[in-house]
Amino acid sequence: MKDNKIAITGSEGLIGKAVVNIFEKKNIKVVKIDRSSGLDVSKKKTINFLDEKKPNTIIHCAAHPGGLSNINPIDDVETNCLGSINIIDWCKKNGVNLIFTSSAAVYGDRSSRKIKENFKLNPGTIYGVNKIATENWIKILSKIKKFPWSILRLFPTYGARHKPNTYQEPNTYQGIVNIMLTQIIKSKRIIVKGSLSREKDLIYCKDVASAILDVLKSNNTRGRTINIATGVKTTVNEIINNIIEILGYSLNNYDILVEKSTLGDPMYSIADIGLAKKLINFKPKFSFRAGLVDTIKNYKI
């Protein structure tokens, strides 16, 4: 483990930065790859950078945001498909371990029944389609020339790195917690797409980072596809009420408008995390309330 050199794509994003932080605290060597520093996974420059740094594991977190994928499908394909195939191909050629952060978006809309990894995939977004494609490329190319891999299907992840000005102002398309938090802070009107009773399985970014570290350390996860989530449902209404309570605001000061649901945004999406418990003894440390308190504490308004 100490001799590992880990490359993290999307190292300045919500998940990537959380992974960088936990790895650096444990004195694990980290190679950062992020568009903000001129390293775009869809470009040859990044492949040359990998040739130079020679990591023995890549944690592939870089992604075009799912909330924009149906609006900007070409951008989504460029990053999430071309960028991902570049990373996979490099891992294949060099026999390098790959941990890929996929998404619950691959499952699409479900009933309130908890989602297992073997459920039929039914994506409702270009983002979800591209995540499935990347999963399949990993499996196919690893049969041509073997390299170790793990696929982690992350359920909605939240934290302070979903900033209001990440791509445009305000950021009301990236992460349900961020969308609600941004609206509550910046206006007196809260727009809810679909329903206040929509159920999400929300996992804090620090718990995701801990899971990724455990996957890295485990041989049990090689060649496996694993849900990373809490297994606990939280409604949109609960998200709003918790944010307002933690901020010390009053719900009476807000108008809540429920509008037509966004294409591909499921009514129910709750994970079965039995496999993660079995393989890496996974148990999230943060309840939604605790993760939200930490998010707001570190949120730059």
pLDDT band of 174, cuts 50, 70, 90: low
Cα–Cα separations (whole angstroms), residue 201 to 90, 182, 228: 33, 20, 10
Predicted structure pTM score: 0.93
Q: What pLDDT is attached to residue 109?
A: 85
Q: What pLDDT is attached to residue 173?
A: 56
Strands 199-200 vs 234-235: parallel, antiparallel or unpaired: antiparallel
pLDDT at 167 over 80: no
d(CA 206, CA 121): 27
pLDDT, tens digit, 9 for 90 and up, residues 12-55 = 999 999 999 999 999 999 999 999 999 999 999 999 999 999 99
Give the start-end residues of each E strand in the chain.
5-9, 29-33, 57-60, 97-103, 149-154, 157-158, 189-193, 199-200, 203-204, 224-228, 234-235, 255-259, 268-269
Q: What pLDDT is attached to residue 282?
A: 98
pLDDT band of 166, cuts 50, 70, 90: very low
Residue 30 near residue 8 (C-beta atoms within 8 A): yes
Residue 127 near residue 103 (C-beta atoms within 8 A): yes
Report helix, strand or coil for 8: strand
Q: What pLDDT is attached to residue 262?
A: 83
Residue 155 near residue 228 (C-beta atoms within 8 A): yes
Amino acid at 232: V
pLDDT at 170 over 80: no
pLDDT band of 3, cuts 50, 70, 90: low
Residue 99 near residue 58 (C-beta atoms within 8 A): yes
**Domain total for the chain?**
1
Here the CATH number for the domain that contains residue 104 is: 3.40.50.720
Q: Which domain holds residue 281?
A: 5-298
